[in-house]
């Protein structure tokens, strides 16, 4: 059975969403069994009530990371 959401992996391209803008990024590290990722040297934690990766120290609606389904390091895309 496939996961219901993309699983973060090192090298996976992502979008960093700011209020009113976004920028591309890449996952540099996956920590705490996938609950924390590092993008651009910044840590993002999976928020328990929204299931979104939000910058540590920010509220649930703060800077967040959008994982791209089916994208990952070369050779690990969707079938």
Q: How many domains does the chain have?
A: 1
Assigned domain for 27 exists:
yes
Give the contacts of 47 (CB within 8 A, at least 6 positions apart): 53, 54, 60
What does the pLDDT read at residue 25? 96
pLDDT digits (tens, 9 = 90+) for 46-64: 999 999 999 999 999 999 9
Assigned domain for 50 exists:
yes
Assigned domain for 75 exists:
no
Of residues 16 and 68, the one with the higher pLDDT is 16
Q: What is the mean pLDDT of the chain?
A: 86
Contact 40, 30 (CB under 8 A): no
Range of the domain at 52: 1-58
Assigned domain for 51 exists:
yes
What does the pLDDT read at residue 76? 44
Assigned domain for 45 exists:
yes
Which tokens in the block code for residue 73? 């390091």
pLDDT surpassing 50 at residue 16 = yes
Assigned domain for 17 exists:
yes
What does the pLDDT read at residue 68? 76
């Amino acid at each position: 059975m496939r996961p219901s959401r993309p699983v973060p992996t090192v090298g996976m391209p992502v979008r960093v969403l700011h209020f009113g803008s976004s920028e591309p990024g890449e996952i540099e590290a996956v920590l705490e069994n996938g609950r924390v990722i590092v993008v651009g040297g910044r840590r993002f934690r999976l928020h328990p009530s929204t299931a979104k990766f939000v910058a540590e120290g920010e509220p649930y609606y703060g800077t967040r990371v959008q994982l791209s389904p089916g994208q990952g390091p070369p050779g690990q895309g969707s079938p």
